[in-house]
Amino acid sequence: MSNDKRRRNILKGVAATAALELLPEAKAGNTGAAIPATTPRIIAEGSVPRWDGETEVLVIGLGCAGAAAAIEAARAGAHTLVLEWTSGGGGTSAMSGGNFYFGGGTPVQRANGFEDNAEEMFKYLAASTGIAPDLEKIRLYCDGSLEHFQWVSALGVPFKHSYWQHNFEPWTDDCLWYSGSEKTHPYNTLARPAPRGHKPEIEGSSTGGRLLMEKMQQALLVAGAERVMDARCVALIKSARGRVVGCAAKIAGELRHYRARRGVILTTGGFIYNPVMVARYAPQARPLPPLGCGTDDGSGIQLGQAAGGECINMNAIAYTCPVLMPLKFIKGILVNEHGQRFINEDVNHKRIGEFAVLHENSRMYLIVDNNIYDKPRFPGVRLVAAAETIEELEIELGLPQFCLQDTVETYNFHAAQGRDPLFGKQAEHLKPLDKGPYAAFDCGLAGGAPYSAFTLGGLHTRPSGEVLDMDGCPIPGLYAAGRATSCLSAQSCGTSGIQIGEGTFFGRLAGRSAAKNSVDSTHPLR
């Protein structure tokens, strides 16, 4: 795809999402139903003309978090109803690789000879999820990882007892891989490394999510939960006492009201497809193509805010940037527009993307010599310069004089000794760049490199799912899980598998909490 065509496609997606937020009417899901922009996000219970449906636990959204919440609520004995905006459900979860971040000594880890425990997993996640991680949630997630692996496996999701020796998602049916930066500096000095990425047993990349959602939806129906598809939730309903008691949803052009006697759970995804929210909370992500699906429009977050919920870490974004493929490219060096290294090249590609966007104006080059030159896997990584010497390459790239030369000279001196004292790249990826000719690939956003972004911030919740207000108090009857919340990754995300892992794990907790909540007995359940 040409760069101009790629930009046009991105702009089309932005324009479509902007219309959803700003125009007087917008399309709802696949139904074509008009949603007036003037529909209030909170409706007083006393103004509800009739209840079109009643349940005990009402789940809004059918991605992995919503499915997990519904399964657990139904298994706990609560009558459970799921409202889903689209016709099939699955959301971004179904588009993903379906990777889980499991640890603590799973059967797959043990079968491949890797030792792990919850404490080492906790130390890694506490260090790698930003400057203000939720340590209580991380502790629960790590301590519960083995049980959660068994829960997912019991749904019928298969995990092959095999190890993939690369730092990117398997495109075979292999399972275990280093999905984060566990082996790299500085994390390998803070926690004992272990591979914790678990991909479902299915051939191909970005295929496991579809299998996962098929199994989860089957389990949801077996558990007795019900679904209403093509139903877009547009408002929450509050009682006079401030309790969330249901929602209003647009179905086939009509506004219908659903009562929830125990609780409403928001599992509607993030807001990367809402350009207004991105511009307001995370403007640094505006130039990047969104990663997810169009239903990640922030609507659930906005509903929670309208009900009094606090949002946290709304500026937190995950930046994907898989430019170092094939694997031999890790032996090259990434430099900024000044010809200087800024990161150890063996870290997870999300960490590279984060540094590039936040600190290097999304501009960087990959420098290789003739020994490691190869064709990039992604066409957006373009060859932009080639020369017999580093000095000539520096001139061809228009970099400041001597900067790239000094960078390569320093790197080569230490690499020859198997060391990288500046950034700590592992010895297995160190090799002097001393065999000309030399080449430079443009790995910058403007050049068309494969960047993308998704949001990490959202509603502030307890680990058990209750949505909290500005004072840290739970809003009665309101729960949330998944990307509609701020969960483990507080300011950064250098690890794959966290989103599916935390979405299902905390979705389960939210489902159980809502099922145990006291019944609002204002009206009997029909």
pLDDT tens sequence across 441-489: 999 999 999 999 999 999 999 999 999 999 999 999 999 999 999 988 7
pLDDT per residue as tens digits for the range 399-431: 999 999 999 999 999 999 999 999 999 999 999
Phi, psi at 37, each rounded to 5°: -65, -20
Supply the pLDDT for residue 522.
Answer: 57
pLDDT mean over 26-42: 45
Burial class of residue 22 in the structure, from the number of CB atoms within 10 Å of its CB (0-12 exposed, 13-18 middle, 19+ buried): exposed
Supply the pLDDT for residue 489.
Answer: 79
Supply the pLDDT for residue 8.
Answer: 33
The tokens of 208 are what?
Answer: 């496991």
Residue 172 has pLDDT above 60, yes or no: yes
Residue 249 has pLDDT above 50, yes or no: yes
Question: What is the Cα–Cα distance from 422 to 347, expressed in whole angstroms?
Answer: 14
Mean pLDDT, rounded, of the chain = 91
Would you tell me how many other CB atoms lie within 10 Å of the CB of residue 481? Answer: 34
pLDDT mean over 258-276: 97
Phi, psi at 56, each rounded to 5°: -95, -50
Residues of the chain with CATH 3.90.700.10: 322-450
Residue 32: pLDDT band with limits 50, 70, 90: very low
Does the domain made of 322-450 have the CATH classification 3.90.700.10? Answer: yes
- Indicate the pairing of strand 80-83 with strand 226-228: parallel
Residue 20 has pLDDT above 90, yes or no: no
Residue 67 has pLDDT above 70, yes or no: yes
Supply the pLDDT for residue 23.
Answer: 24
Residue 29 has pLDDT above 90, yes or no: no
Residue 28 has pLDDT above 50, yes or no: no
Q: Which amino acid is at 153?
A: S
Question: What is the Cα–Cα distance from 68 to 452, expressed in whole angstroms?
Answer: 27
Supply the pLDDT for residue 264.
Answer: 98
Supply the pLDDT for residue 19.
Answer: 27
Supply the pLDDT for residue 281.
Answer: 96
What is the 3-state secondary structure of 51-93? CCEEEEEEEECCCHHHHHHHHHHHHCCCCEEEECCCCCCCHHH
Beta strands in 267-364 (DSSP E): 311-312, 317-320, 333-335
Higher pLDDT, 15 or 140: 140
160-163 — which CB contacts under 8 Å span 24+ positions? 160/108, 160/201, 161/107, 161/108, 161/111, 161/112, 162/108, 162/112, 163/112, 163/114, 163/195
Supply the pLDDT for residue 519.
Answer: 80
Residues of the chain with CATH 3.50.50.60: 3-95+209-318+453-516
Question: What is the Cα–Cα distance from 294 to 86, expressed in whole angstroms?
Answer: 10
Supply the pLDDT for residue 521.
Answer: 60
Supply the pLDDT for residue 39.
Answer: 58
Q: Are 394 and 339 in contact (CB under 8 A)?
A: yes
Residue 11: pLDDT band with limits 50, 70, 90: very low
Share of the chain above pLDDT 70, in %: 91
Q: Are 483 and 126 in contact (CB under 8 A)?
A: no
Residue 137 has pLDDT above 80, yes or no: yes
Residue 12 has pLDDT above 90, yes or no: no
Residue 280 has pLDDT above 70, yes or no: yes
Residue 499 has pLDDT above 90, yes or no: yes
Q: Which CATH architecture has domain 3-95+209-318+453-516?
A: 3-Layer(bba) Sandwich (3.50)
Supply the pLDDT for residue 385.
Answer: 98
Supply the pLDDT for residue 493.
Answer: 67
Question: What is the Cα–Cα distance from 518 to 477, expressed in whole angstroms?
Answer: 9
Q: Which amino acid is at 108?
A: V
pLDDT mean over 3-27: 30
Supply the pLDDT for residue 31.
Answer: 29
Supply the pLDDT for residue 24.
Answer: 26
pLDDT per residue as tens digits for the range 187-207: 999 999 999 999 999 999 889
Supply the pLDDT for residue 211.
Answer: 97
Residue 37 has pLDDT above 60, yes or no: no
Residue 298: pLDDT band with limits 50, 70, 90: very high
